[in-house]
Amino acid sequence: MLSMWLILVLCACTSVLARAPNFVVILTDDQDLELGGLTPMKNAQKLLAEQGATAKNWFVHTPVCCPSRAQMLTGRMFHNLRNRGPGGGCMHINETLVNPDTFALKFARASYRVGIFGKYLNDWDVHQRTWPPGFERFFANGGGNDEEPGGYTNPTYQDQDRVYQGHPGEYAGYGTAIIGNKSVDWLRTVAPGPQPFVLLITPKAPHIAATPAPWYQHVFSDRFAPRTPSYNFSALDHHWLVAQQGPITHNESLQIDELFRNRWRSLLSVDDIISEVVATLQAAGVLNDTYIFLTSDHGYQLGQLRLPMCKLNVYDHNTRVPFLVRGPGIRANSTFDAYGSNVDLAPTMLALAGLPWDDLDGRNMLPALLAAPAQTSTVSQTDTCHYIEYFSLGDVVRMDHLVDTQNNTYRALRCQTQTQGTFLYAQFYNLIDWQFQHVVFREFFDLVKDPFQMKNIVHQVSPTLLDTLDAQLASLFQCKGEACRTLVNLHL
């Protein structure tokens, strides 16, 4: 039964929804939580976290760019968006299942004005003269290059039906600043108007090359990548990709430290965007009618389990991400424990706007957001799981370390239960096993005793529990809509 306080807040939020709230979503690229990815963002902490809610358990389902973004945009699981077989597509994503089905179109049909500024899907061709339906303003690319120029410096963008690459003036210079300027300019146009709006700001930061703005290139010179307990740890009881890792050398550690500093430096420009967005909303008189979200498409690693950089793996440093939100009905300086994910963002936004969302795979997280208690976190979900699924991109090498290969194909459950505690259970497969039929390796981690996933205790787990988890994974792999929301609840 809902507490009287929560009922009152829900009623208050309903009155807000009747006035059609606005939404701003700021999606970063590769921003971690475990390694302090939010630490350099003082504006985010002051203007979002202290004025709203912080998730303690927000995850992605597929820790790589294109699938994660596709899931966030559609509210659908990876297995409902992927190709019919391995290879091709945008990191196995069938883009024809994404572009016509984003939440942009659902909001546009409800008379919202919708704009995106920054990275869309990785394989997006900026030279086409069309863009996905629902976006009134489309200023985007596929993320640009991983090297300069064309990454952060003078990137190429599609601006509606035209292409710009380092053109003099407004399209030249530092990419995050360009994205910020363009998005704030559009916000100044739409915010005072009678129609509600959805603004997606999707900068490249802190993705490699993590090039900082010239005015931030010398900050954090005294900082080093965190040496977490799993840093440079030889995990011989893990699956082959991790077990065969050689040590992080001294020279590699220096590169990791410099990348860490540049990641933080590049995020300072995103933090500047947050400040400008809030100021613009305030000036237009709509700040109190607007929900602002900050999250990432996945986490990152910098030497954890001897994986020098990148993402692509099942562990928390890759799947657990920041999530901050402020807006009507959300208590300032609050936190919530409830498991949530990028697939839940679209349903939650649609629910806040009073629009249908039940056909999506994700959940409406509004009750958890409104129940978030101030400063401390006592609201939790027990006997619930987060589902993870990933198909390898093939051999991916970083600093002479193999960080992905075909047998790094997996599905997993990260669960919080009353009887079994909090744990991560993963099944590993070969990429050609497109239907997850033949398990080649298993991992199980007690996340209370082993929060950095360093000791695989699968051989200590009862066969009955493993059978239950195997059956749950098989069902989740086939789920759609309501079934996905139901199956994440375990009964152990």
- Exposed, middle or buried, 415 (CB in 10 Å: 0-12/13-18/19+)? buried
Q: How many CA atoms lie within 13 A of 64 on its CB side?
A: 22
Q: What are the tokens at 491? A: 């009964």
Catalytic residue among 13, 65, 310, 479: 65
Q: How many CA atoms lie within 13 A of 310 on its CB side?
A: 19
For residue 248, give every residue at least 6 positions away whose Cβ sits within 8 Å of its Cβ, in sequence order, or none.
231, 232, 256, 303, 306, 308
| Amino acid, single-letter form, for residue 441 | F
- Give catalytic status of residue 13 as yes or no: no
Active site residues: 65
